[in-house]
């Protein structure tokens, strides 16, 4: 049952005439200054002297409830009266009550009652609650301290909810009946997990680490609907990449069960328009959407609304906030509410320090307590043999006193040392301990719902380079800047014609006579795949980190297949407007003319559905394996009607294989060990198995795709 909250700018004063400082205060309706409030036991009313209360209400802020609401609650009070009379007690109970020391508590269905004898001091129907409003911060130029200068019309949602939960014990939320039948089992469990962390005991933040493509957005929208029904003025705020804001709006419209306004702050225009939208968000039943870029500029009036306003914050693709010193993390940490939900199909990305940042963002207090346990239980176990084991005495006093000591201890115990260690038994033991620490507020779901799809085959293809490619790689060995070397090498792996493009040359990629496919291992292989896909009436999705590689593939497809851009050939990259991107996605998934989509791998995050593709190419190794997994999940997700085959192309016997591929595989292995206790792989390479002579993909059994292939590996997605 929702609480009845007083609205407007009403202020209650205590007997000394000072404004009350409690966040939640109760007062009795209709109590004269010199009157006796009633004490009620179950089935009995006694008049007892009570302290006098005086209520000051500004007449200009009175709000009369509607007749429908009055009738609704009147019926509830009548039912409660019947229940009280049915449980009437005898005179012996009265004697017991008169001799009781009375320890009063509040329950939502009763009111203020004694937990020892059952005496009801005040009916719930005669109680109302008033919250103190938060105030914006004003920094006086002559002083460093912050001062409060004026208040909001309403309290921030977290103040309301935390006090309600503490005093009354908010019941678990329930899925709206219109959405319950369309929920999958894992989503129902996720709903209970969110309710437990955000509403019930030990209220705080949490991480929903469900596999990509398993319906996290729908689950979150379902929870928000139920959350706002329980607390209508909670003001949820969803932070997401800008490209994902419109899909969120569409999902809300699709699953809307109550009248809820969705406000997109990125579409508000100038600051004045943004302020008007924020005021509307404050005053109405609405959800606010904004991009991560807007979070980095939380200043002035707009910043005050974003910091103090929300009672629930949802971070879509929350792994983007994984780096400690970024503006995103610093800004999000300033938001007052403790109710923070981080949505990510891949919360573990590069290392444990980044993972710690995410944990600390949603549960800072928990991690400060847990870090001491981590240091005590795992520090001496996890450091590799080549490093002298650390103890609490070896950590400097300065670092112990530092506010960052918890992070440092976590990094020392579970961080980079793991990535360098060869003691796999120690690593698995430490990860088991870490799982126990985060289990209460991190929910992981492998994606069993994806097992109902036609299937996926995830292949790693080791390609032999041409002599020309080997020659160019040898010439670039002197490059000392790793990023430049990596870009040049990645271009050469595709085709030598791209090397002068990276070096600043002006080679014309559109000249048909300038390209010899035999000289470029990856370009030749991709074009052979495109021809096979066209013959099989299958669509192919090609991901790359570099736009010049995609441009070369597009131009070669135009020359070789006689296709045209915008018809058979489509493109998605970070420079595209959201509406254009949506049009491209819709055409690729639904138009029979579309054959091939070339996409920037970092421009296709969670929420984008490219289920029109059944063949996926990853053109190069990405240091962060979660980016690759996200890309594959654009095609392998709910809604896919065909079996998906993934081809990860790697230049054999190069830096890409020995350094990049091995590092990414190790990170992927650590992520599997962390979240899936059923994994028992003792070696990172054990997540791959050689299928060179027994590949299940019909395209790879024989024909042009076997040319130049040194080896083929398969992994479980």
Homologous superfamily of 457-715: P-loop containing nucleotide triphosphate hydrolases (3.40.50.300)
Please give the torsion angle defined by the CA atoms of residues 376, 378, 381 and 384, in that order, rounded to the nearest 10 degrees: -110
451-469 mean pLDDT: 95
Tally of CA atoms within 13 A in the half-sphere of 549 that contains its CB: 29
Q: Which residue has the tokens 């470029």?
A: 520
Each residue of 548-573: b (16+ CB within 10 Å) or e?
ebbbbbbbbbbeebebeeeebbbbbb
Q: Going along 42-100, which residue ranges are E strands?
A: 44-47
CATH class of domain segment(s) 157-362: alpha beta
Query: For residue 521, with 0-12 CB atoms within 10 Å meaning exposed, 13-18 middle and 19 or more buried, which class applies?
Result: buried
Question: Which of 221-230, 546-555, 678-687 shows the lowest mean pLDDT across its residues?
Answer: 678-687
- pLDDT 10s digits, 675-699: 877 776 667 777 899 999 999 999 9
DSSP letter (8 states) at residue 323: S
* Global confidence as pTM: 0.68
Give the per-residue pLDDT at 229.
87
Measured distance CA(250)–CA(264) in Å, rounded: 12
Pairing of strands 206-210, 442-445: parallel
- pLDDT 10s digits, 324-337: 667 888 888 889 99
- pLDDT 10s digits, 467-520: 999 999 988 776 655 777 788 899 999 999 998 877 665 554 445 456 899 999
Q: Which residue has the tokens 């709006």?
A: 249
Question: Which of 52-56, 115-119, 180-184 shows the lowest mean pLDDT across its residues?
Answer: 52-56
Which tokens belong to 455? 């299937």
Q: Going along 77-204, which residue ranges are E strands?
A: 104-107, 111-114, 120-123, 127-131, 137-139, 146-148
Domain with CATH 3.40.50.10810 in the chain: 157-362
Provide the β-strand partners of residue 456: 644
Of 342, 44, 34, give the one whose Cα is nearest residue 197: 342
pLDDT for residue 78 is more than 80:
no
- pLDDT 10s digits, 420-445: 556 677 777 777 778 888 888 999 88
Q: Across 61-75, 336-350, 473-487, which has the greatest mean pLDDT? A: 336-350
Cβ atoms of residues 100 and 114 within 8 Å? yes
Give the per-residue pLDDT at 330.
85
Domain with CATH 3.40.50.300 in the chain: 457-715
Measured distance CA(328)–CA(316) in Å, rounded: 13
Measured distance CA(188)–CA(691) in Å, rounded: 38
Provide the β-strand partners of residue 312: 236
Of 296, 289, 209, 223, give the one whose Cα is nearest residue 250: 289
Give the per-residue pLDDT at 11.
39
CA 374 to chain centre: 25
Residue 170's pLDDT band, with cuts at 50, 70 and 90, is low
């Amino acid at each position: 049952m929702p609480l009845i909250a007083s609205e407007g700018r009403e202020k209650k004063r205590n007997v000394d005439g000072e404004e009350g400082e409690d966040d939640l205060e109760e007062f009795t309706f209709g109590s004269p200054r010199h009157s006796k409030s009633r004490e009620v036991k179950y089935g009995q009313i006694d008049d007892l002297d009570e302290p006098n209360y005086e209520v000051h209400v500004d007449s200009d802020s009175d709000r009369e409830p509607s007749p429908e609401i009055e009738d609704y609650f009147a019926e509830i009070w009548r039912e409660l009266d019947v229940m009280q009379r049915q449980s009437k007690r005898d005179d012996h109970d009265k004697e017991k009550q008169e001799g009781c020391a009375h320890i009063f508590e509040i329950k939502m269905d009763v009111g203020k009652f004694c937990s020892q004898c059952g005496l009801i001091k005040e009916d719930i129907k005669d109680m109302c609650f008033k919250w103190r409003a938060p105030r914006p911060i004003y920094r006086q130029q002559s002083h460093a301290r912050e001062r409060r200068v004026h208040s909001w019309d309403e309290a921030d949602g977290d103040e309301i909810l935390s006090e309600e939960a503490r005093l009354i014990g908010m019941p678990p939320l329930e899925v709206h009946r219109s959405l319950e039948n369309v929920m999958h089992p894992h989503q129902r469990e996720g709903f209970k997990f969110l309710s437990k962390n955000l509403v019930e005991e030990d209220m705080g933040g949490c991480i929903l680490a469900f596999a990509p493509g398993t319906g996290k957005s729908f689950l979150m929208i379902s929870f928000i609907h139920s959350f706002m029904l329980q607390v209508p003025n909670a003001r949820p705020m969803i932070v997401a990449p800008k490209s994902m804001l419109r899909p969120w709006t569409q999902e809300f419209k699709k699953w809307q069960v109550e009248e809820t306004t969705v406000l997109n702050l990125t579409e508000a225009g100038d600051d004045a328009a943004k302020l008007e939208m924020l005021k509307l968000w404050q005053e109405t039943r609405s959800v606010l959407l904004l991009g991560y870029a807007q979070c980095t500029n939380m200043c002035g009036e707009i910043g005050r609304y974003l910091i103090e306003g929300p009672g629930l914050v949802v971070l879509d693709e929350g792994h983007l906030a994984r780096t400690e010193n970024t503006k995103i993390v610093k800004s999000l940490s300033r938001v007052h509410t403790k109710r923070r939900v981080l949505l990510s199909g891949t919360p573990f990305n590069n290392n444990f320090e980044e993972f710690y940042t995410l944990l600390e963002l949603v549960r800072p207090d928990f991690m400060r307590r847990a870090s001491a346990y981590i240091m005590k239980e795992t520090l001496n176990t996890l450091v590799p043999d080549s490093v002298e084991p650390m103890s609490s005495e070896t950590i400097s006093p300065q670092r112990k006193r530092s506010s960052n000591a918890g992070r440092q201890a976590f990094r020392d115990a579970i961080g980079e040392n793991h990535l360098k260690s060869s003691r796999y038994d120690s690593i698995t033991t430490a990860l088991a301990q870490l799982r126990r620490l985060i289990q209460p507020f991190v929910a992981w779901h492998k994606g069993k719902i994806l097992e109902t799809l036609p299937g996926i085959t995830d292949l790693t293809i080791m390609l032999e380079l041409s002599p020309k490619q080997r020659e160019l790689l040898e010439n670039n060995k002197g490059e000392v800047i790793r990023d430049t070397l990596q870009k040049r090498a990645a271009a050469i792996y595709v085709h030598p014609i791209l090397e002068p493009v990276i070096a600043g040359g002006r080679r014309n990629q559109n000249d048909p006579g300038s390209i010899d496919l035999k000289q470029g291992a990856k370009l030749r292989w991709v074009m052979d795949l495109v021809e096979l896909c066209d013959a099989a009436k299958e669509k192919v999705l090609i991901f790359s980190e570099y736009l010049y590689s995609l441009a070369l593939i597009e131009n070669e497809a135009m020359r070789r297949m006689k296709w045209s851009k915008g018809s058979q050939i489509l493109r998605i990259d970070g420079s595209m407007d959201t509406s254009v991107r949506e049009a491209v996605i819709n055409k690729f998934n639904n138009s029979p003319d579309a054959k091939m989509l070339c996409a920037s791998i970092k421009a296709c995050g969670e929420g984008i559905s490219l289920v029109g593709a059944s063949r996926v190419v990853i053109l190069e190794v990405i240091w962060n394996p979660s980016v690759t997994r996200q890309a594959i999940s654009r095609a392998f997700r709910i809604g896919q009607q065909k079996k998906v085959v993934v081809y990860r192309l790697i230049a054999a016997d190069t830096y890409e294989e020995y350094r990049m591929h091995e590092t990414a595989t190790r990170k992927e292995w650590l992520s599997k060990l962390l979240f899936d206790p059923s994994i028992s792989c003792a070696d990172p390479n054990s997540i791959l198995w050689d299928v060179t002579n027994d590949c299940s993909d019909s395209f790879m059994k024989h024909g042009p795709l076997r040319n130049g292939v040194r080896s083929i590996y398969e992994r479980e997605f």
